[in-house]
Amino acid sequence: MALFLERGFEATTVDQIAEAAGISRRSFFRYFATKEDVVLGDLIDRGHRVHSALTARPAEEEPWTAVRAAFLALRDEARDSVGTELRIARMLFQTPSLRARHLEKHLAWQEMLTPELARRLRTLEGLEETDAIHRAAAIIATALACLDVATETWVRRNGTVPLEDLWDEAVAAVRS
């Protein structure tokens, strides 16, 4: 990550990453399928943690509230300083290949989270399976889109407004 932040994502080569890590190019590809996965490789694991957090929410909790709380579980485990997070987010939004891979990972999150939210909707609102899945998929897709919009705004505002406040504003805009 240090190389990417120092030199830029596109200017950093796999050979440079392998050399800095003290491994061969071939070993690099045993750990990462693509250079993008160095930056975004843990997103699937993070999706599993969001899923676990969503599953742990009270059964009677309103769907949007449960999704918000599940997303916030990731904020609580933030490992980098705000400055580093901002630099990584800027790189993500400015690099087309990273952006595309990020969206691909969010589609995986949608597949992961939709069944749990559908289960909640069946229990809370008595919806039939097909209706619950439809509604849950719409909520999750919208929540992820709101997260992306909030993150872009957070970057533009240089981290001066809490990300969760920006997410709340984005969700309020689509729900009104």
Query: Which residue segments constitute the domains of the chain, with CATH numbers given?
Result: 1-31 (1.10.10.60), 40-175 (1.10.357.10)
pLDDT value at 109 more than 80: yes
Amino acid at 110: Q
Q: Residue-wise over 137-162: b if at least 16 C-beta within 10 A, else e?
A: bebbbbbbebbbbbbbbbbeeeeeee
158: left (phi over 0), alpha (psi -120 to 50) or beta: left
Structure-token pair, residue 105: 């990972």
The pLDDT value given to residue 98 = 93
Tell me what the mean pLDDT of segment 27-45 comes to. Answer: 89
pLDDT value at 78 more than 70: no
pLDDT value at 106 more than 70: yes
- The pTM is what? 0.88
pLDDT tens, position by position, 140-154: 999 999 999 999 999
| Residue 91 to residue 143: CA distance in whole angstroms | 22
Mean confidence (pLDDT) of the chain? 93
